[in-house]
Amino acid sequence: MADYTTLFTLNLALLFISKGVTAGTFTFVNKCDYTVWPGLLGSPKLDSTGFELQKGGSRSFQAPTGWSGRFWGRTGCNFDSSGHGSCATADCGSNQVECNGAGAAPPATLAEFTLGSGSQDFYDVSLVDGYNIPIVVEGSGGSGACAPTGCVTDLNRSCPNELRVQGGCRSACEAFGNPEYCCSGSFNSPATCKPSMYSSIFKNACPKSYSYAYDDATSTFTCTAADYTITFCPSSPSLKSASNSNSSPNTGAETGSDSEPAVQADSLADSSWLAELAVNGDSTRSHPSFAMQYALVLGFSLFLVFLQL
């Protein structure tokens, strides 16, 4: 009887250990009209640090509890038959399809994750290093808020001339290097580093994304024990984004069998301000006043309290 009890206990322990080893699955989906080469940087290392993802393609990786890192989409890449080459935007400088522990050269839209920290996952989409293509992150199968986040607005179209580069929009920190833009030196705290005119452009276009280093309050999201989908050029129903524009100029960089447009236009399909908030809103769209939004939220909260009485 003792042997059966020991065996049962061992199997149960192995079950819990196996559940704890894998925190979740990352699935990359390419809805762009061109090939994207995702880059992966994190610890511990996943099964790949960079790969080719053709139009309409998807690929998944499992990640362990405690994994922390970032993903991005490289565009305009040209690799030879041996896998050597470079990319027009968000290149990781490895001269290979695999990034091998190197990060993205700005400008690059980043999806950032920390899995299982205090039993919760933390995730965000960041424009702190600039913007190159639209990205949305969605959690599934988890508990908690698990709200989608990302940037579906085409910032390449609205990028100020002084930040504009081929295929991307630089951050003010990258463009000018000033401490007040980089939140460095005497500006290295939330109290001293404030939103700038340039970060406000990013924030107005993509309210749920990081626009500068201390933009935590409206840009960090949590979920517990979820799987995550990272979509490039999304047209996700949960984000109410409309179909992409068909008129996009070419970067001129070859991408194997197809070439990558520098501009991907996204607009919102739903006119309500709640839907616009959920999809990271277009800065060209008008919104009701803050007072009206506050009144609606307050009224809904009072209604919920009334139901509990």
Q: What is the helix, strand, coil percentage profile of the chain, to 5?
A: 25, 30, 45
Instruction: Please state which of the ranges 42-51, 67-76, 109-118, 265-274 shows the lowest mean pLDDT.
Output: 265-274
pLDDT at 262 over 50: no
Which domains, and CATH codes, for the chain?
2-308 (2.60.110.10)
pLDDT tens digits for 229-242? Answer: 999 999 744 444 32
> Six-digit token pair at 275?
């839907």
pLDDT at 48 over 90: yes
Q: Which helix (H) or strand (E) holds 283?
A: none
Q: What is the pTM of this model?
A: 0.72
pLDDT band at 21; cut points 50, 70, 90: low
Give the DSSP letter string of 43-104. Answer: ES--S-SB--B-TT-EEEEEEETT-EEEEEEEBS-EE-TTSBEE-SBS--SSSBSS-TT--P
